[in-house]
Amino acid sequence: MLVDLIRVTAADGIELDGAFFAPAPDAVPAGPIDAAMVIHGSGRNFYTPATAAMAEDLRNAGYAALTINTRGHDTVWVDRQTGVAEGNAYEILENNRQDLRAGVDYLASLGYRRIAILGQSMGAVKVTYYAAVENDPRVAAVVPISPVRLSCSYYLESPDADEFRANLETADRMEAEGRAMDLFYVDFPIKEMFSAMAYIDKHGPLERYNVIRHVPQIRVPLFVLSGSTETHTRLLDVPQDMITAAVNSPRAEYLVLEGGTHSLTNMMPEAGQAVVNWLASLSASVGQTAAAAN
């Protein structure tokens, strides 16, 4: 696939790489959306196969598409400007709002005004949180794919409670000892390395990024997509619960693809088609509202 490699700069100066998938010059996408941004999951990046494939499917349907790294890309990387370690292991999710805004700014600089934001796994949390908290008028639709439930209270009531509680206690102890930036390895809710600070930020009792709590603030169409095999505690019933909570969205729907695995990596063509079909079905009033706001 041919793409334009791009770089955006977040408000705090962090530079993030990405790819712009330009549609054919004469392409006219169905529906009111004219561009889409696709955000990767935990420890992944802008060229992760499922992320790139979704952008390519959108491009083939006539939409301009952008994939960008967030600062949580890969497990650990070092910012060449500051020398500070970043990546999923050190990620504070709140800071990703700057990254997503930089991506939306890039699409807007090319003249796109009716932008859908899509995210896979933790990227689904990021686009949900961005739409809810930023209320960016350029965002005309939100598509979380395989969203993760970041809920301490839910985990503590689950069959994984003992393992989760032990992880929290380890992170709390490390932070109390002044080792908040030290890394430790966990198996729950995903197999990954985290700094104590990052683990508490995402999974601690404040539940700052619980998508069920944030989705009532979304006032644009919402489409949650997932696979039927996503029965892990962090994924179970999240699409249904999000749509039930989306009381202020003018159109909120979810679709579970039978046999689909996490982020629908085993059904990438089907996932792309489902998103394209949904975007094409949106009312023209969605685009008119976004354009008027700009």
Domains of the chain: 4-149+209-293 (3.40.50.1820), 151-208 (no CATH)
Give the strand pairing for 4-9 and 15-21: antiparallel
Across the chain, mean pLDDT equals 96
What is the rounded distance in angstroms from the CA atom of residue 72 to the CA atom of residue 288? 33
**pLDDT for 251:** 98
Percent of the chain with pLDDT over 90: 94
* CB-count burial class (<10 Å; 0-12, 13-18, 19+) for 123: buried
> For residue range 42-55, what is the model confidence (pLDDT) as tens digits?
999 999 999 999 99
Determine the average pLDDT of the residues in 125-154: 98
Per-residue confidence band for 176, with pLDDT thresholds at 50, 70 and 90: very high
> For residue range 63-91, what is the model confidence (pLDDT) as tens digits?
999 999 999 999 999 988 888 899 999 99
Q: Which of 77-86, 118-127, 148-157 has the lowest mean pLDDT?
A: 77-86
Say whether pLDDT at 290 is over 90. no
Per-residue confidence band for 287, with pLDDT thresholds at 50, 70 and 90: low
Say whether pLDDT at 103 is over 90. yes
Would the pTM of this model clear 0.85, i.e. be above it? Answer: yes
**pLDDT for 294:** 46
Asked if 197 contacts 191 with a C-beta cutoff of 8 angstroms, the reply is no
The residue behind tokens 């179970």 is: 236
Percent of the chain with pLDDT over 70: 97
